[in-house]
Structures are given as structure tokens and as C-alpha cells.
Amino acid sequence: MKRWIAIALLVVAACGSDEADPPATEPEEVSFPSGFLWGSASAGFQVEKGLGNTDWGKWVKTPGKIKDGEDPDVGGADALAHIAEDVALLKASGQNSYRFSVEWARVYPTRAAFDADQPDAAAIAAYDELFAALRAAQITPFVTLQHFTLPDYFSDPSKPEEPQGWERPEIIDAFAAWCGRAAARWGGAVDWWATINEPMVAPVAGYIQGAFPPGLLLAVPRALLAGKNEARAHAKCYDAVKAADTIDADGDGKTSLVGIVQHQRAVEPEDPDYPDDVAAADRVRYVNNMWILNAVVRGDWDDDFDGNLDGPNDKKGDPALAGRSDYLGINYYSALWASVNGIQVPVINAGIKQDRLLNDRPKTDFHWDIYPEGFRIILDEVKGFGLPIVITENGIADSRDVNRARFLLEHLYELGKAQADGFDIRGYFYWSLLDNFEWASGYCPRFGLHTVDRATAARAARPSAQVYARVAASGKVTKKEIDALPPYVPPAPCD
């Protein structure tokens, strides 16, 4: 059915009805429990320098791959040289937790060093300094073990025809070894571990959309292989961290909480009245939001990604995978449209759009919809797993800081309502602490609560950092304060 006919029918139905539903009452205030993690997130490659020995380090040097040829080694935040300053920013903006990654390739710069377990002394010293500074400031570290980058001795985008990173079978045990060693070294400082950040994003962006290394288009079988190996690597990493980290870092009775971090989109059919688009959205939602969680929580292995467990290589409740997430790390930003029009991704048989969606929602500088209500949609999808949830990322590209306060409060309000409705949400990490290197988009989108001067690396708080500080201090968001904020204004895209 065409969209306008459907709208007309809805209008007629509404006019003809005598009994309108009473408007749903929205709480005046939502609140979060004490002990809630209030933090922000970052990732090594996006804020550190000197990671040229990674797949991304090579990729950024490849002409044409990054907007304006930008490179984190030039004009970046250089976070490991600004540890005290960044910890002070966390403190000043009321945060009690910080999510960041420790970089495998920094700690083991070469394959020989990795094989011999000879970590780089300067890398260890830098991360030790960060852990010590966080401890002194009573800020809980939340540590990601892999955030998109892989050492170049496992992933070399200059040879895209060869199996890359997650496609290579040996990466599974190698990654588990890295996880175990990191957990043994820093387990005394860390209780919260995240294994792999956004395991579905890297294969989709790298093998289907061509925006991440190895830069292939529609190479779906290779993408799916990478995704499968990430699921297996996550499970082995989980076991390795559990075995190596038996220290309760903060004395709360828990030694290590290990989880996976998923990027969930509120997946919608481009035309909700067109059954083929509705079916396409169901397929995309399943592959993007559910496939890997089914695998590592329930052990349900859908080898051919067809949505059932009837295939010859499918498995129900595989003990090598099941039960490998103590919490679900959820990154939520926005909506995604699926349709049977446009370029179709084979196997999934759908076209996907996440930028410039043609609807009335306000947009970010990155052309993503601002869609706080979508938070509840993606939370409802994962409720059945029965696990605690940590919002490991949520944020807005907003260089002028004109929409961030409203974005933040509206999303936290939705989260607070979900919590009141029984969701067990343990923390919220705003993306990001600082403006940083946004992968293929370079320094263009500005997600930070703090700006970073490209010439001097000097940081400065944006006004929204104080809005966040106020919420973290009170543990509350009220409708009144949201209503008092100016409405969203049109974005200022940088591209």
C-alpha cells in the first residue's frame, strides 16, 4: 500500500472513532540508582597517536580512504600524553567511569613480540599510568579489548585479496591470548571488560560498504566469515579473561564482568506499508541486532544467517559459545532503514540506509536521525536475554553544542523509563569524552563533551558537559528540564 493511502486511512479511522485512547502519562521524573556508572567512552585509535602498526594505521595512509586525508597522528587528541588532563575532565563533568580500549598492537608491536609474550615497556607504562590516575580519582575503568583496530601482523589492508584479521582462523586463539594477558596484567584495576566493540560493524563497513579496511564492496561471504570468527573469538576471550582476572578491583564482590558490545539500530522498513520492506527490515534486524547475541548468550549458532537453526551447520545451545556475556553492552545512536530498493546486500537481501533518512526527525551533523524513542525499541529486542545492560555508547555529532543537551536528556529520560519498567541497566557512557578521529570521516563529526584544539591538543569543555555533570550528580532527569531546553535546530554538517 502506498504511504499516502495508509495515512489517509489512519486519519479517517481516527476521525471516525468516538473513544480516543487516553494519552499515555509520562513520568515527571526518572531516576537512576546509586552505583550507576556515569561515564563517557573513547577508543585507542580515535584518540591516541602512534598506532601505525595496525590495519587502520595502514588504511589512513592509503590515499582517498579518509575524509581530507586526515590521520590520528596529526592533530589528534594524543590521549596517552594527556592522561592527567583527561582524568580531570572526567571528574569535572561528574563522571565516575571511563570506557577506553587498550590497544593490542601498542602492547605487542610486532608478531615476534606477541609470540614471545614480550610486551612493549612504554605501552605498559602508559596504560599503567592511566589506570593509576583513574584509581586515584575513583573513576571505574571499563576496558575494551578490541575496538576496530587489529595489529598489522594479523590484518594488512594493502593485500585485500588475502584473508584479513577476523577472517583468519588463527586470530581466534591469538585474540584470546591477548585478552588473557591483558586481564592478567590489569585485572587488579579492572572489573568491567568489553571484548569486541561492535562486531557486526567492522565486517559490514569493511567488506560490504568499503569504508573500513579492507575496503571491499558486497563481499558478503567474507564479511560473514569475519563475523562468525568474531563470535568464536569473543567466547574464547571471555573464558581467557575469566581465568586470568580473579581480583575484585573495587571490593564490591565481583571480580570480572565480561561482555560484548553491540551497535544496535532501531531498524525500520523504508516503507512500512510495503510487506517486502517489512520483511527486509526483519532480516536486517536479525543479522545486525540479534545474530551474535543469540550465539554468545544462548549458544544458538545460525551458520547460514537465515533466521532459523535448521541448517546442516547450525547448532542449538552450543556449550562452546553459550553463556559468554555477563552483561550486554549496547551502543545506541539512531535508526536504520531497510528496503528491497537500492543496492541489495546479498544473503540478507536488503538495501540499508542510515544517513539522511527522509522523515521528519531532527538530524545530527552526521546526518543520523535523533530518535530517543528508538532506545526502547532496541532494549525491548534484547530483554529476552535476561542480562544486565550497560549503555556503552550513545552520543551526537554536534559541533556547535546546540542540540547535545536535549539529545542527552531525552535519551536518558527514555533510559530511565525503561529502568523503571524493569530493565536492569547498570551504566551509561556518552560517546565521546573528546572530539576524536571518526574513522573514514576523519575529524569531521564532533561527538565530544570536550573540544580538542587540532594544533595544540588543548581540551575545553562544551556547555553540555555541565548538563551531564548535573544529571550524574543528581541521578535524575526531569521532564521540566527537558521542556525548558530550546528545540532542536538544524545540524551543521561538516561534509
Residues in touch with ligand IFM (CB under 6 A): 43, 46, 198, 263, 331, 393, 431, 438
Alpha helices in 156-300 (DSSP H): 170-186, 201-203, 220-244, 275-285, 291-293
Minimum distance, C-beta of residue 42 to ligand IFM, in the bound complex (Å) = 9
Minimum distance, C-beta of residue 328 to ligand IFM, in the bound complex (Å) = 15
Say if residues 434 and 450 touch (Cβ distance below 8 Å). yes
Q: How far is CA 208 from the centre of its chain?
A: 19
Q: How far apart are CA 249 and CA 201, in angstroms?
A: 31
For ligand IFM, give the closer residue by CB, 198 or 302.
198
Minimum distance, C-beta of residue 93 to ligand IFM, in the bound complex (Å) = 19
For ligand IFM, give the closer residue by CB, 208 or 244.
208
Say if residues 32 and 476 touch (Cβ distance below 8 Å). yes
For ligand IFM, give the closer residue by CB, 331 or 403.
331
For ligand IFM, give the closer residue by CB, 119 or 165.
165
Minimum distance, C-beta of residue 289 to ligand IFM, in the bound complex (Å) = 15
Minimum distance, C-beta of residue 162 to ligand IFM, in the bound complex (Å) = 25
Distance spanning both ends of the chain, measured CA to CA:
36
Minimum distance, C-beta of residue 69 to ligand IFM, in the bound complex (Å) = 19
Q: Where are the beta strands (DSSP E) in 322-446?
A: 327-339, 351-353, 389-394, 425-431
Reading phi first (left if > 0) and then psi (alpha if -120 to 50, else beta), residue 191 is in alpha
For ligand IFM, give the closer residue by CB, 99 or 236.
99
For ligand IFM, give the closer residue by CB, 249 or 382.
382
Q: How far is CA 337 from the centre of its chain?
A: 19
For ligand IFM, give the closer residue by CB, 334 or 478.
334
For ligand IFM, give the closer residue by CB, 215 or 269.
215
Minimum distance, C-beta of residue 281 to ligand IFM, in the bound complex (Å) = 21
Name every residue whose Cβ is closer than 8 Å to that of residue 225 and which is 6 or more positions away in sequence. Answer: 166, 167
CA-closest candidate to residue 373, choices 330, 407, 399, 404: 407
Q: How far apart are CA 223 and CA 107, in angstroms?
A: 27
Minimum distance, C-beta of residue 40 to ligand IFM, in the bound complex (Å) = 12
For ligand IFM, give the closer residue by CB, 167 or 438.
438
- Listing DSSP states for 451-469 in one string gives EE-TTT--EEE-HHHHHHH
Residue 342 grid cell: 537500492
Minimum distance, C-beta of residue 368 to ligand IFM, in the bound complex (Å) = 9
In angstroms, how far apart are the furthest CA atoms of the chain?
Answer: 76
Instruction: Please compute Rg for the chain using Cα positions.
Output: 22
Residue 315 grid cell: 547448532
Q: What is the DSSP letter of 286?
A: I
